[in-house]
Structure 1
Amino acid sequence: MPVERTCLLNGDDLFVADVSCQDPPHGWTEVRPAPVFGLVLVRRGLFRGRADGVEQLLDPASVYVERMGSEQQFAHPCGGDRYTELVLSEPQVAALLGGDPGVPQGLVFTTPRMALAHRLLTARARGDADSFELSERALELAGEVLSALAPARVASGRPGRKAARHRLVNAARAALADDLGLSLDQLGRAVGCSPYHLSRIFRAATGEGIARYRNRLRVTLALERLTEGETRLAALAQELGFTDQAHLTRVVSRTAGLPPGALRTLLRPTG
């Protein structure tokens, strides 16, 4: 069965891929243990799955939850299909589920919010989003799916007191101001909170996700450096955590309306 897999995000604790299966064989595949914890979000087509003998029908309005070690097999009664594969490490799963990596069995039906978050993730992965933004989007989506299976366990990792949440947001802002090169996982470890809950708390407090806030902070700092006459754009991009100079140029141009060179001229002191 020809399978095309395009990596969208590849990190130590999180992997996202666009997968297309063409001309699958008739009947069920052989039984194999699931090697990872993963979410299969169908975008087109239909297939059947068996996990530890329990059969499930997978369509674009459902999410298959792949549980590490479960005996599984698949059938494709309607031909080829396409889906997004989201794989999390065991520590990342545990962080989402209140410290216990054991994932409940079950099929999750997508909500409009999940469906939109899924498409935004894949669309931004094909745009100019960096790994920080993609990680935040992927974890938010995984959290939504797991909340449908085990809402109490997912909610248990969120600080209950408003003061504690306020301290977390301020700690995250301070950590970003000190080092814009931090990954989302590193930021979570720095403030002692799972990236999923930190993202939700941050959004509730500031009105935007961490990636967007971080991006706004980077652009503001870039404008300040350009005002000072900075000409080394590649070094500036590295310092502010952009992928490269081209990424810096795209983001600044989109946000401020002009490329860095034109902004430097515009902001140059006169007189």
Structure 2
Amino acid sequence: MLKYQTWYRHRVKEDNLQAMLALQTRLRSNIHNNAAISHEHGQDEPDLSAHHPVQPDEQIDEELHEDEIETEFKREIAMFDDPLGLVHSHVPDSGPGTPHDPNSLVLQFNQPPNREHLESQSPPVLQLLDLDVDYDSDDSKSNYEFLHAYSDPPALRYAYLNALSSHIVWKSPVRDAEANLKHTLTCLWLTPSGIPDHITPLTTLKSIRTQFGLNTSGLLHQVPICNKCYKQYLMADISSAELPAICTWERPTCSGSYMKLATKNGNTVPPLGPRSG
């Protein structure tokens, strides 16, 4: 809006200047005509320098009234819709010593930036985004750096996630969850383009957690159970039991065991039974 107001002032001055030049031309033409008529009648030619024609700057200063310009400018501004409610800044008048050169009545816009100066400047350093995820309600630490897990077909990834959710969410034992996973993989093998030939599917929950980089140990509660009937036992039963710890289920009688010796890294330790959700 400020540029438009400046342009409007320049346009008014230009119109007044053109009117003054036309008036000056008309006066000079009349003087020449009068001189020609006087010469025909034997009169002396009038001195044009004695008439002192009005200078352009004086004519503009006499005919240009600030109040009339402001009134006409506001009347034209009222014709436009200003939804943003911009404040029309007042443009200061030219000083008394400012020359009114028609060649200077050109709108001054912002100069383009110096390209050499821009090329000499080093580009700004981009700040790396923080990819760490803060889990407020989940204390378990998850590692999502295993991007190769997303290269598997969607159907295969769904089978893996379904096996994990069956074990963690729906409390299925590890054995049942892995059995259902194998059945799902068999269905995918029988489906055309279900599993590509270059992919070897995973068949255990441990390998799936490693593939996805998920640590679900904090979501599971480990309890001793029988390896056949899945009867749960207390830690006190483990402390007081003697090997072989035969299952105490009687109806019907179970021949399973809820504690046995296992070898891990060359050491014999009494592990817990299969984990249950």
User: What TM bracket, shorter-length normalisation?
Assistant: under 0.3
* Greater strand fraction, Structure 1 or Structure 2: 1
TM-score norm. by structure 2 comes to 0.20
TM-score norm. by structure 1 comes to 0.21
User: Which has the larger Rg?
Assistant: 2
